[in-house]
Chain A
Amino acid sequence: MKIILNNTAEEFLQETLTINELLNLKKYSFRMLVVRINGALVKKEEYKTAAVRDGDDVMILHLVSGG
């Protein structure tokens, strides 16, 4: 599938991935995240079930302290 991930076009062999699977694939080991799929907020409890599909626009914000 082809998706937009954090404003960048990316391609994956899989047809669909859960958020957790995507985080593992990208080696995102961050603790604090804000995730959106096509503008819809995905809560942490949903990371293991929420599915990313071809054409989706995904935002994974890694929150770091500072401000």
Chain B
Amino acid sequence: MTSEELRERLKAKTVGIAGCGGLGSNCAVALARIGIGTLVIADHDTVSGSNLDRQYYFLSQVGEPKVSALKDVIHRIDPAIRVISYKARLDPEQIFLYFRDCDVLVEAFDLADQKKMLIEAALSLFPEKPLVVGLGMAGWGKNESIRFRKSGNIYICGDEISEISDQLPPLAPRVGIVANMQANTVVEILMQT
């Protein structure tokens, strides 16, 4: 398939990204570059200087809401991409309202309890919708431990074990690998349907 044919297919698709941090921002950029038609992004947070070691934001954006900053980044890549943004802390009701029309939903939250909430909500509200989870990406090196598996409509990217901490921070290289693996999974799913 040529690049043009691929872009034609992807232009008709809508991808939801819950969370615009390390995973979400990097995943959104990869999907923007290949021309996904509509991106639905949600995050309650603002860009801080300490985010720049892994999140796809720039120094000039510190202090801005992440959803606005990410929308700008996406439109700097491709102004034709439709970005629907929600500055909000998501609860199951909002998850349903914001993401129900998405072809695929990317799970890009940070805290374990939030990840659990999102995954369980998605499984209850949209049991058939493909859900691409990012799980375990802290530290550096250990490429061989980053893996991918599928369980029904859930696709899991990451090492599933490394929890972030002061001693094991999230960093651009490894976070980027998992975020791009999520984006790669999204394309695979979209090209199957």
Q: Do A and B come from one complex?
A: yes
The answer to whether B110 touches A65, judged by C-beta atoms less than 8 angstroms apart, is yes
Query: Within the complex, what minimum Cβ distance (angstroms) separates A56 from chain B?
Result: 13
Q: What residue of chain B has the Cβ atom nearest to residue A31's Cβ?
A: B112
Count how many chain A residues have C-beta atoms less than 8 Å from C-beta atoms of the other chain: 19
- Which residues of chain B are within 8 angstroms of A17 by Cβ–Cβ distance? none
Q: Tell me which of A36, A57, A67 has the highest count of chain B C-beta atoms within 10 A of its own C-beta.
A: A67
A interface footprint on B74-99 (CB within 8 Å = 1, 0 otherwise): 00000000000000000000000000
Kindly list chain A residues whose C-beta atoms are within 8 Å of the C-beta of B120: 34, 41, 43
In the bound complex, do residue A36 and residue B123 qualify as a contact, i.e. CB atoms below 8 Å apart?
A: yes
Interface-facing stretch out of B7-15, B30-38, B130-138, B183-191:
B130-138
Q: Chain A binding site: helix, strand, loop or mixed by DSSP?
A: loop
Residues from chain B with Cβ under 8 Å of A31 in the complex: 112
Partner of B108, one of A6, A32, A34, A67: A67
The CA of A64 and the CA of B134, in the complex, are separated in Å by: 10
**Contact indicator B151/A63 (Cβ below 8 Å):** no
A52 within 8 A of B: no
Q: What residues on B are CB-neighbors of A14 within 8 Å?
A: none
Can you list, as one digit per residue, whether each of B147-176 has a CB less than 8 Å from chain A (1) or not (0)?
001111010100011111000001000010
**Complex CA–CA separation, A66 to B127 (angstroms):** 24
Kindly provide the distance from the CB of A50 to the nearest chain B CB, expressed in whole angstroms.
14
Is the CB of A48 closer than 8 A to any CB of chain B? no
Contact in complex: A66, B151 (CB < 8 Å)? no
Q: How far is the CA of A6 from the CA of B150 in the complex (A)?
A: 9
Q: What residues of A have a CB within 8 angstroms of the CB of B149 in the complex?
A: 6-7
CA distance A59 to B155 in the complex (A): 12
Contact A32 B116, beta carbon cutoff 8 Å: yes
B109 at the A/B interface (Cβ < 8 Å)? yes
Which residues of chain A come closer than 8 Å to B111, judged between CB atoms? 65
Q: Return the chain A residue nearest B153 by Cβ.
A: A39
Contact with B along A4-38 (1 / 0, CB 8 A): 00110000000000000000000000011110100
Instruction: List 5 contacting pairs A-B, 8 Å CB cutoff, sorted by A.
Output: A31-B112, A64-B161, A65-B115, A67-B108, A67-B134
